[in-house]
Copies of this chain bind each other. A is one copy, B any other.
Amino acid sequence: MPDDYIHQKHLEEIPWHHAVIRKGFWQEIQQRTDKTTLQIEYEQLRRTGRLDSLKCEWKEGDPKRPHFFWDSDIAKWIEAASYSLGAGRNQDLENQVDEIVDLIDGAQASDGYFNIYFTVVEPGKRFTNLKEQHELYCLGHLIEAAIAYREATGKRKLLDIVSKYSDLVCACFGTESGRIRGYDGHPEIELALVKLFRATGNRKYLELATFFIDERGADPSFFIQECERRGVPEADQKHRADAQGTFAYYQAHCPIRKQPTVVGHAVRAMYLYTGIADLISENSDTSLYEACSRFWDDLVRHKLYITGGIGQNPKGERFTYEYDLPNDTAYNETCASIGLFFFAHKMMKLNPSGSYGDVMERCLYNTILGGASLNGDLFFYANPLSSNPLAFLNRSEESKHITLGRQAWFDVACCPPNYARLVLSLNGYLYLKEKDNLYVNLYVNSTLETRLDDIDIRLTQESKYPWESKIHFNVSLSRPTDFALHLRIPSWSDGYEIRVNGEKVENVRIEDGFFALRRHWSDGDSIDLLLPMRVRKIMARPEVAHDCGRVALERGPVVYCFEEADNGKNLHDLTLGDGNIEEHFDRQLLGEIVTLTMKGTRRTLKSWPTEDLYREKEDMREQVVLTAIPFYSRHNRTLGEMLTWIKSQD
């Protein structure tokens, strides 16, 4: 058993509505998400026919044929809207949600079933193609939406709808004779059922989640059996199987406890692991925890882009092999980084190690934050680490979500509402607690109100994070009390300093990435944390062939990139020099950001005759000044080139 085996007490999440995000970096992002992103997404749901599909009036031959994943797009939007409503009532928005909930209510079958696709497009086929058609995945998102909406507004209509449907699923699935012994091709229901258990107290939801997780990958294959029942020819039953004929794409190639590595479709993997990790916090299952730890280690040691992107391969939106981290073809779906953020959060609950928080920050400030434009109106689905408009001319079909710049919408529209729900629920990921321990995981201007044991505590934090390194906390208490405040010290931090009421804390000892400040606290106590941010030139392991001879720049949690708008064309031809990197706080460019400038060289075309494609090597470098901007702010100006890993002088 490893030393870091499950923490003796699992940490508790603190509900998102117990923390309020205050003025600063994230409030601005939440506000634009609220005002712009949510309304754009609503309009897209309407325009594309998703909202109308809830009326169940579609008939064969009509345009806007409902797709089997449409329900989930609507659900994620409801969930996002709910977090917004929780932060401040907005009657228009609430009306929009209520109207949708009424439509869902009207479309629910008398036995509880709800799925638009199987109601109007393939009626009578419910639960016959779990492998491909996202049926329980859609329910999972509806459950998450229902819980968020109840928490935000107190209205439980949607929760009743999904509970009734979940009861039906409980009755239809299981090992008992006459039930379906299977699971969904796209995980999500598992994590949702654990949430539903917590929201309702009904243990059978937890048992159903356990069933789905235990059954996954069992032999004989449920997917094959299901295909046989549908009469799918044998040659087609292995659809999406890998070269070895397994269903690794669905993380269903063998039982989860036996799976050695992170494989398959990245979003599916993350949602599955999130559900498993959250289940472990209820059942402390050792073998599942070992599996999750294996997946985690494989992921962060071998398959994680520096931007927090995961899922290297556009073909199948999936993981490939160790250290295969190509930059221009990196798929890195926004949803996959959101899923990793969830997974890390659940792992941290099982074992409060700062490394989980580090990964959450990496995902959050780079791929996730970059998933929407600075105006909140355009989106990325795939998030490669370099891009070149020319390459798009010859992009193969599999890479269709690697787009030339940000897009207004996608046919497969999972990412934009997923982005919105994550950003608007960020409050829920800042803190964790356990008895008399309060953990600060993310540094975001906010006020937390919670109870530690039986004491009411209010913790306020304020900083210019992620740009500045000073973070100030204020403690309000109903009465003085002992507790430990655990502050996460990010691995990028170049030293740190902690002061309590102005007095420096000596002999700071970091344990597992957290500094524990255990003392007798009084109302009005203040803490100052200094996390010096230095620009760091990062190299990847030598095994990562694609980054060889290159560096990426990080400052605090923010990864930088180079754009054509600042550095001209042919970014591949730039080499970063050895000199200092200057930091500039720029209030005009791309929101308020810290830009970086540095000396470098560029290979020139001088004296290269146009007819020569190749010639004998000679030195052709000129001095240039290079400018880097945060990766998340890329592609907000032009459709030009972008590069994250830049060549560097040895």
Interface residues of A (CB under 8 A from B): 243, 297, 300-302, 304, 306, 313, 315, 320-321, 324, 388, 390-391, 393-394, 396, 398, 536-545, 548-549, 551-552, 570, 572-573, 575, 601, 603-605, 608, 610-621, 647-650
Contacts of A537 in B (CB 8 A): 616-617
Contacts of A391 in B (CB 8 A): 324
How many angstroms between the C-alpha atoms of A537 and B552 in the bound complex?
A: 29
Please give the count of copies of this chain that the complex contains. Answer: 2
Q: Nearest Cβ distance between residue A535 and chain B, in whole angstroms?
A: 11
Contacts of A648 in B (CB 8 A): 617
How many angstroms between the C-alpha atoms of A620 and B549 in the bound complex?
A: 11
Pairs of residues from A and B, 8 with the lowest C-beta to C-beta distance, nearest first: A545-B572, A537-B617, A320-B394, A539-B617, A542-B603, A548-B572, A315-B396, A542-B573
Contacts of A539 in B (CB 8 A): 614-618
CB nearest to A391 among chain B residues: B324
Contacts of A650 in B (CB 8 A): 575, 601, 619, 621, 649
Given known contacts A300-B613, A541-B605, what 17 new A-B pairs fall within 8 Å (CB)? A301-B611, A320-B393, A396-B396, A396-B398, A537-B616, A538-B615, A539-B618, A540-B614, A541-B608, A541-B612, A541-B614, A542-B570, A542-B620, A543-B605, A544-B613, A545-B570, A617-B648
With beta carbons under 8 angstroms apart, the residue of B315, B320, B603, B617 that contacts A548 is B603
How many angstroms between the C-alpha atoms of A320 and B396 in the bound complex?
A: 11
| B394/A321 in contact, CB under 8 A | yes
How many angstroms between the C-alpha atoms of A396 and B395 in the bound complex?
A: 13
Question: Contacts A548-B603, A575-B549, A650-B619 known; A613 to B541 CB distance under 8 Å?
Answer: yes
| A538/B617 in contact, CB under 8 A | yes
How many angstroms between the C-alpha atoms of A513 and B42 in the bound complex?
A: 68
Q: Nearest Cβ distance between residue A614 and chain B, in whole angstroms?
A: 5
Question: Contacts A301-B611, A537-B616, A616-B539 known; A548 to B398 CB distance under 8 Å?
Answer: no
| B541/A321 in contact, CB under 8 A | no
Q: Nearest Cβ distance between residue A298 and chain B, in whole angstroms?
A: 11
How many angstroms between the C-alpha atoms of A603 and B549 in the bound complex?
A: 9
CB nearest to A388 among chain B residues: B545
How many angstroms between the C-alpha atoms of A302 and B390 in the bound complex?
A: 14
How many angstroms between the C-alpha atoms of A300 and B608 in the bound complex?
A: 15
CB nearest to A536 among chain B residues: B616
Q: Nearest Cβ distance between residue A396 and chain B, in whole angstroms?
A: 5
Most chain B Cβ neighbours within 10 Å, of A393, A544, A549, A611: A549
Q: Nearest Cβ distance between residue A582 and chain B, in whole angstroms?
A: 18
| A617/B551 in contact, CB under 8 A | yes
CB nearest to A552 among chain B residues: B614
How many angstroms between the C-alpha atoms of A396 and B324 in the bound complex?
A: 14
Contacts of A570 in B (CB 8 A): 542-543, 545
Q: Nearest Cβ distance between residue A555 and chain B, in whole angstroms?
A: 12
| B542/A304 in contact, CB under 8 A | no
Q: Nearest Cβ distance between residue A315 and chain B, in whole angstroms?
A: 5
Q: Nearest Cβ distance between residue A188 and chain B, in whole angstroms?
A: 26
| B390/A324 in contact, CB under 8 A | yes
| B545/A324 in contact, CB under 8 A | no
Q: Nearest Cβ distance between residue A340 and chain B, in whole angstroms?
A: 14
How many angstroms between the C-alpha atoms of A541 and B649 in the bound complex?
A: 20
Contacts of A313 in B (CB 8 A): 394
Q: Nearest Cβ distance between residue A609 and chain B, in whole angstroms?
A: 10
With beta carbons under 8 angstroms apart, the residue of B243, B302, B394, B608 that contacts A613 is B302
Q: Nearest Cβ distance between residue A300 and chain B, in whole angstroms?
A: 7
How many angstroms between the C-alpha atoms of A320 and B394 in the bound complex?
A: 6
| A604/B394 in contact, CB under 8 A | no
How many angstroms between the C-alpha atoms of A548 and B605 in the bound complex?
A: 13
How many angstroms between the C-alpha atoms of A351 and B374 in the bound complex?
A: 58
| A549/B647 in contact, CB under 8 A | yes
Q: Nearest Cβ distance between residue A395 and chain B, in whole angstroms?
A: 9
How many angstroms between the C-alpha atoms of A552 and B614 in the bound complex?
A: 10
CB nearest to A329 among chain B residues: B329
Contacts of A545 in B (CB 8 A): 388, 570, 572-573
How many angstroms between the C-alpha atoms of A539 and B315 in the bound complex?
A: 33
Q: Nearest Cβ distance between residue A618 and chain B, in whole angstroms?
A: 8
Contacts of A552 in B (CB 8 A): 614
Most chain B Cβ neighbours within 10 Å, of A539, A544, A610: A539
How many angstroms between the C-alpha atoms of A552 and B613 in the bound complex?
A: 13
CB nearest to A398 among chain B residues: B396
How many angstroms between the C-alpha atoms of A332 and B172 in the bound complex?
A: 55
Contacts of A388 in B (CB 8 A): 545
Contacts of A398 in B (CB 8 A): 396
| B542/A608 in contact, CB under 8 A | yes
How many angstroms between the C-alpha atoms of A148 and B617 in the bound complex?
A: 44
Contacts of A616 in B (CB 8 A): 536-539
How many angstroms between the C-alpha atoms of A573 and B539 in the bound complex?
A: 13
Contacts of A575 in B (CB 8 A): 549, 650
Q: Nearest Cβ distance between residue A604 and chain B, in whole angstroms?
A: 7
Contacts of A649 in B (CB 8 A): 650
How many angstroms between the C-alpha atoms of A572 and B388 in the bound complex?
A: 22
Most chain B Cβ neighbours within 10 Å, of A548, A551, A611: A548
How many angstroms between the C-alpha atoms of A537 and B618 in the bound complex?
A: 9
With beta carbons under 8 angstroms apart, the residue of B302, B390, B549 that contacts A321 is B390
Contacts of A243 in B (CB 8 A): 393
Question: Contacts A301-B610, A393-B321, A614-B540 known; A549 to B549 CB distance under 8 Å?
Answer: yes
Q: Nearest Cβ distance between residue A397 and chain B, in whole angstroms?
A: 8
Most chain B Cβ neighbours within 10 Å, of A324, A603, A617: A617
CB nearest to A544 among chain B residues: B613
Q: Nearest Cβ distance between residue A573 and chain B, in whole angstroms?
A: 5
Most chain B Cβ neighbours within 10 Å, of A297, A300, A306, A572: A572
| B604/A324 in contact, CB under 8 A | no
CB nearest to A605 among chain B residues: B542
- 12 A–B contacts from the bound complex (CB under 8 Å): A301-B611, A302-B613, A306-B614, A537-B616, A538-B617, A539-B616, A540-B614, A542-B620, A548-B603, A549-B575, A549-B647, A575-B650
